[in-house]
């Protein structure tokens, strides 16, 4: 796939500048010392879940593959690096020919994860693999944070549809990735046209308060909307008085009115009142959409209310209190020439230690098929776990092999979450629902 095919709204000529400067200076020093060519294994993982969360959700893997494929140092980038004296000429020459030729394994997108899960494993020379650190972490840390929040909201919503509408609350391109991650986590639609364009996510939306205020009366606005968008449209009923608006809405659109939307006030109370009013007016099939600063707790609190769907903005795109995961990308093993891999790990005091060695991961299930533990190891894999391995090939010899439709990730997440112990989906704070066992 060429960069142009990555599609609008943004054509990314290269992802190589989504990189911290120190990756390049390390490369320069390693080229000079001769260590740049050492076979290296990097792993992306978290040391903990956000406080109180019971599982994480892998998202962004597909975007990582796009980023790796487009990671190239073309002339304008090289000119910039030369002009700013970021690295020396030998390094610039090496960068000009860069493309990743190694292997990447990872948890497939939509899978759940736990502290220590090796979510992504990048293998290649140090030089090739170290450069990918920043962009890989940017993508996984952002997208997985959104998907985890989305998953909790989907659980809270039961079977009711969720609409992502947070574009205005986050960076305009983070918003597109957030729509994608939310879809993986269980959202059904998005307000974001760019997400529809780029990822085929179904888009929805009809009108805002401004449309009502623009017209001389609310009735004028409703009439204009129904004439133009049809009786199946969703009318926003909380600009002035809700009861008056609902009466006008049904009067104008008839009982075929698609839905009314409530965007402020006591949603529990209003949903009951509006449902009663709609029923009394004969609009028994008209749905109720609520969209006012919802999060998973507010959604859960409306479980018994006559609400048909939820729109979620701010709390979704900010990860519901946890806008980033704490994924890190660590060198866990390396080898000179043909020697065997040597596990390595930071060892100073201060808590930021990690487990060395190139790791496999598997999910142990109990006799009922319910997940019992996340098992991670760098030695041979126990026979009973060999069939439950979590890492799949994503890139082989530089060639992308792990692309899949977004719906595959969405379905995988539903299955993966369903395989966890029931307490995984409690909204209350708790410990990770699976322990992570590290085998030698």
Contact (CB, 8 A) for 411 and 145: no
> d(Cα 172, Cα 190) in Å, to the nearest integer?
14
Tokens 């009067």 -> residue? 251
Q: Which of residues 173-202 bind a second copy (CB under 8 A)?
A: 173-177, 191-194, 196-197
Who's near 3: CB < 8 A, 6+ residues apart?
11, 12, 13, 14, 70
Shortest distance, position 388 Cβ to a second copy, whole Å: 30
Tell me whether residue 229 or residue 365 sits nearer to a second copy (CB atom). Answer: 229
Q: What is the DSSP string of 375-413?
A: EEESSPPPGGGGGGB--EEEEETTEE-----HHHHHHHH
Cα–Cα distance list, 297 to 152, 163, 223, 428 (Å): 9, 16, 35, 9
One residue of 144, 151, 207, 378 binding a second copy per CB under 8 A: 207
Residue 228, interface with a second copy (CB under 8 A)? yes
DSSP state of 203: B
Q: Which segment (127-135, 281-289, 383-391, 404-412) binds a second copy by CB under 8 A?
A: 127-135
Residue 309, interface with a second copy (CB under 8 A)? no
Q: Which of residues 134-153 bind a second copy (CB under 8 A)?
A: 134-135, 137-139, 141-143
One residue of 72, 160, 209, 219 binding a second copy per CB under 8 A: 209
Tell me whether residue 79 or residue 256 sits nearer to a second copy (CB atom). Answer: 79
Tell me whether residue 79 or residue 384 sits nearer to a second copy (CB atom). Answer: 79
Contact (CB, 8 A) for 205 and 179: no
One residue of 5, 84, 337, 383 binding a second copy per CB under 8 A: 84
> d(Cα 63, Cα 56) in Å, to the nearest integer?
18
Return the HEC string of 73-114: CCHHHHHHHHHCCCCCHHHHHHHHCCCCCCEEEECCCCCEEC
Q: Which segment (98-106, 163-171, 247-255, 429-437) binds a second copy by CB under 8 A?
A: 163-171
Who's near 385: CB < 8 A, 6+ residues apart?
362, 364, 375
Tell me whether residue 290 or residue 420 sits nearer to a second copy (CB atom). Answer: 290
Shortest distance, position 68 Cβ to a second copy, whole Å: 12
Tell me whether residue 31 or residue 424 sits nearer to a second copy (CB atom). Answer: 31
> d(Cα 267, Cα 307) in Å, to the nearest integer?
9
One residue of 33, 97, 367, 383 binding a second copy per CB under 8 A: 33
Task: Give the sign of the dihedral formed by CA 16, CA 19, CA 25, CA 28.
Answer: negative
Tell me whether residue 265 or residue 380 sits nearer to a second copy (CB atom). Answer: 265
Q: Which of residues 244-303 bind a second copy (CB under 8 A)?
A: 263-266, 292
> d(Cα 249, Cα 259) in Å, to the nearest integer?
9
Shortest distance, position 2 Cβ to a second copy, whole Å: 14
Tell me whether residue 323 or residue 398 sits nearer to a second copy (CB atom). Answer: 323
One residue of 58, 122, 130, 148 binding a second copy per CB under 8 A: 130
One residue of 182, 184, 274, 317 binding a second copy per CB under 8 A: 317
One residue of 1, 47, 96, 210 binding a second copy per CB under 8 A: 210
One residue of 351, 369, 387, 440 binding a second copy per CB under 8 A: 351
Q: Which of residues 59-78 bind a second copy (CB under 8 A)?
A: 67, 76-77
Would you give the binding string for a second copy spanning residues 352-381, x where CB under 8 A is met? x-----------------------------
One residue of 180, 188, 287, 334 binding a second copy per CB under 8 A: 334
Token pair recorded at residue 366: 């109990």
44 — phi, psi (to 5°)?
-100, 130
Helix (H, G, I), strand (E, B) or coil at 42: strand
Return the HEC string of 234-248: EEECCCCCHHHHHHH
Residue 18, interface with a second copy (CB under 8 A)? yes
Shortest distance, position 339 Cβ to a second copy, whole Å: 11
Token pair recorded at residue 96: 């000009």
Tell me whether residue 146 or residue 420 sits nearer to a second copy (CB atom). Answer: 146
Q: Which segment (170-178, 252-260, 282-290, 398-406) binds a second copy by CB under 8 A?
A: 170-178
């Amino acid at each position: 796939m060429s960069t142009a095919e990555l599609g609008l709204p943004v054509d990314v000529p290269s992802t190589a500048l989504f990189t911290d400067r120190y990756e390049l200076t390390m490369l320069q020093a390693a080229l000079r010392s001769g260590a740049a060519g050492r076979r290296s294994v990097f792993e992306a993982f978290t040391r903990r879940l956000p406080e109180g969360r019971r599982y994480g959700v892998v998202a962004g893997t597909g975007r990582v593959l796009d980023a790796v494929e487009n990671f190239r140092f073309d002339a304008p980038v090289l000119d910039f690096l030369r002009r700013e004296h970021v690295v020396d000429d030998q390094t610039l020459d090496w960068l000009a020919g860069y493309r990743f030729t190694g292997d990447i394994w990872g948890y497939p997108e939509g899978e759940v994860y736990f502290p220590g899960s090796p979510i992504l494993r990048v293998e290649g020379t140090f030089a090739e693999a170290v450069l990918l650190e920043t962009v890989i972490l940017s993508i996984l840390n952002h997208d997985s944070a959104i998907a985890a929040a989305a998953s909790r909201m989907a659980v809270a919503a039961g079977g009711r549809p969720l609409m992502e509408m947070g574009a205005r609350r986050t960076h305009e391109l983070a918003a597109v990735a957030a729509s994608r991650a939310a879809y993986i986590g269980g959202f059904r639609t998005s307000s974001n046209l760019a997400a529809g364009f780029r990822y085929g996510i179904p888009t929805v939306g009809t009108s805002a308060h401004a449309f009502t205020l623009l017209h001389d009366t609310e009735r004028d606005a409703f009439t204009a909307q129904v004439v133009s968008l049809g009786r199946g449209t969703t009318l926003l009923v909380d600009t002035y008085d809700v009861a008056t608006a609902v009466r006008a809405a049904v009067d104008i659109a008839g009982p075929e009115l698609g839905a009314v939307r409530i965007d402020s006030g006591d949603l529990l109370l209003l949903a009951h009142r509006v449902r009663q009013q709609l029923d009394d007016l004969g609009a028994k099939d008209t749905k109720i959409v609520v969209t006012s600063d919802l999060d998973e707790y507010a959604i859960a609190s409306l479980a018994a209310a006559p609400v048909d769907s939820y729109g979620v903005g701010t709390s979704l795109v900010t990860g519901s209190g946890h806008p980033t995961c704490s994924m890190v990308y660590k060198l866990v093993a390396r080898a000179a020439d043909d020697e065997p891999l040597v596990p390595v790990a930071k060892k100073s005091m201060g808590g930021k230690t990690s487990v060395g060695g190139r790791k496999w991961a598997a999910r142990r299930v109990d006799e009922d098929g319910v997940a019992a533990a996340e098992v991670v190891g760098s030695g041979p894999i126990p026979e009973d776990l060999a069939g439950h391995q979590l890492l799949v090939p994503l890139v082989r010899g530089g060639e992308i092999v792990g692309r899949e439709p977004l719906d595959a990730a969405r379905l995988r997440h539903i299955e993966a979450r369903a395989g966890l112990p029931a307490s995984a989906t409690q909204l209350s704070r708790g410990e990770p629902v699976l322990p992570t066992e590290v085998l030698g």
